[in-house]
Structure 1
Amino acid sequence: MTRLQIALDAIDEANAKDPRMDEGQPEALLYGTRMSEEANRLFPNASESLQIAARGQHIERWVLKRADYPEGRAGYLKWRRDLAMHHADRVSTIMGDAGFSEDEISKTGAMLRKEGIKRNDQVQALEDIICFVFLKWYFAPFAAKHPEEKVLDIVVKTARKMSADARTRVLAEFDLPADLAVAFEAPNT
């Protein structure tokens, strides 16, 4: 078995313990599988570090609960930062156990912590994968539960995070209503 497969299997083993279920399987495990599918589709020649970061994006996400953080934007941002650190730490340990170098581990950790988004191609690739997974599997349920203005705000924020190539691909692959498509047509700001 390759070191890549050892790392992916270890991430899956951790995520299989998620008590939250989605489509009859642990939520984090399903999310990791979807992330890998999109990583392979969008970046067929992805580095091992990117493949691992995609699979481990939400490793053990359930252990840090949003409800344990203060309400409001500051509490939300603290929760997200703590999650990113947790994901990076867990994946770093798994990669070390699988025999990856410190450099590979460091690059993967930077991706999971979103360090250098818009400046680092690998970090940006992970963000593009995340956005595609959201749009493909999670956007419709989100939109059904929220008012139109909130949906538009999330679409604008999602588009802003994506690379120009990814936004162009979204327009080609998704049949978006005109009021949402415009967010992907605008230049990155």
Structure 2
Amino acid sequence: MKTADCDILILPGLAGSEEDHWQARWASRLPTARIVVQDDWHAPEPEAWRRRIAEAVAAARRPVILIAHSLGVVAAVEAAPDFPPDVVRGALLVALPDVEEAPDLPDSVRAFAPLPRDPLPFPSLLVASRTDPHCAYARAEDFAYAWGAQIVDAGDSGHINVASGHGPWPEGLMRLAGFLKTL
């Protein structure tokens, strides 16, 4: 599959994706990509976030590829049962926050717990860092296996955001291109 053949829905996490974040850069660079905008990026409400993602998937006119970061991963996985069948063809899931066990997450993020453990109905990659302050690698790996996702070890990459040095994140774009070729 090529990016021109699908609708790419970009799902940011808490506080959205600032201008230098790789998701914002990809949204401006990939012609079929758009950010699914939430009503409140700073005080997320689980049901509203899931509904907004499900509505965006249902409105798509081509096969959908999800690109989610952080809390966007959680919302996407929780919304998956509400997607129309066979519309989402794959998902790149990056930097899952452990909404159940990470000690430093705000209550508004913890409200998304518990994390689903059902297999996802589409192929997916979960990119996880061994130094993500919001999720131990072993927990990310456990969720990837439960979801039927391929785990991608990002090594010492923090939360894979601007603060960890991942502005344009060309390695992620190459990983996306390789993933699309398998679909």
Shorter-normalised TM range:
0.3 to 0.5
Task: Point out the structure with the larger strand share.
Answer: 2
Larger fraction in helix: 1
Mark the structure with the bigger radius of gyration: 1
User: Which structure has the higher relative contact order (CA within 8 Å, separation 6+)?
Assistant: 2
